[in-house]
Amino acid sequence: MGEKDLSEMVINDMKVEDLPEILAIENASFETPWSETLFYNELFKAVSVTRVARIGRRVAGYLCANIIIDEGHILNLAVHPDFRGGGIASRLIEEIISVMRAGSCRSVFLEVRVSNETARKMYEKFGFALLGTRKAYYLSPVEDAVVMVLRLT
């Protein structure tokens, strides 16, 4: 899809009705996808910030994050394979960074598979820097996580 199609994109809070489409994207995107219960819990946690990007009636992407005192944590982000490369994840990240700034976060943290170069490049574009690694953090396949941080102050 081209950049122009982003003018049709709407970003809202995640709702229970979005979960079936979100789970389909999640299953198409990760080796160890989140369960419906994990997403469901995020909808009701006080520290949770969730967003869904829609193009027309379709869910095109989503992001789950938490704000814990002055730390932001990006927990999950995926874009439907049909809509990748069109700037949707970038818009979701911009949105969440602005929520975190407004919420007085000093830093934003995330973990990503070492081999996920697309995501690592994307986060670097937003100024995230390598903080360290967590050994064998992921299962199926077992892989280290890269921990990245964006300082907001």
Ligand X SMILES: CC(C)(COP(=O)(O)OP(=O)(O)OC[C@H]1O[C@@H](n2cnc3c(N)ncnc32)[C@H](O)[C@@H]1OP(=O)(O)O)[C@@H](O)C(=O)NCCC(=O)NCCS
Q: Summarize as ranges the residues that interact with ligand X (CB under 6 A).
A: 29, 77-79, 84-90, 112, 116, 118-119, 121-122, 125
Q: From CA 59, how far away is CA 77, in angstroms rounded?
A: 13
Q: CA angle, corner 71, sides to 108 and 62, nearest 5?
A: 55
Cβ nearer to ligand X, comparing 87 with 107: 87
Report, in Å, the least distance between residue 132 CB and ligand X.
Answer: 16
Half-sphere exposure of 49 (CA within 13 A, CB side): 22
Tokens of 23: 């789970």
Residue 104 vs 131, nearer CB to ligand X:
131
Q: Which is nearer to ligand X, 43 or 122 (CB)?
A: 122
Note whether 40 and 19 are within 8 A (CB).
yes
Shortest gap between Cβ of 130 and ligand X (angstroms)? 14
Q: How far is the CB of 56 from ligand X (least distance, A)?
A: 16
Where would I find the beta strands (DSSP E) of the chain? 9-12, 48-55, 58-68, 71-79, 107-113, 129-138, 143-151
- Nearest CB to ligand X, comparing residues 104 and 136: 136
Q: How far is the CB of 119 from ligand X (least distance, A)?
A: 4
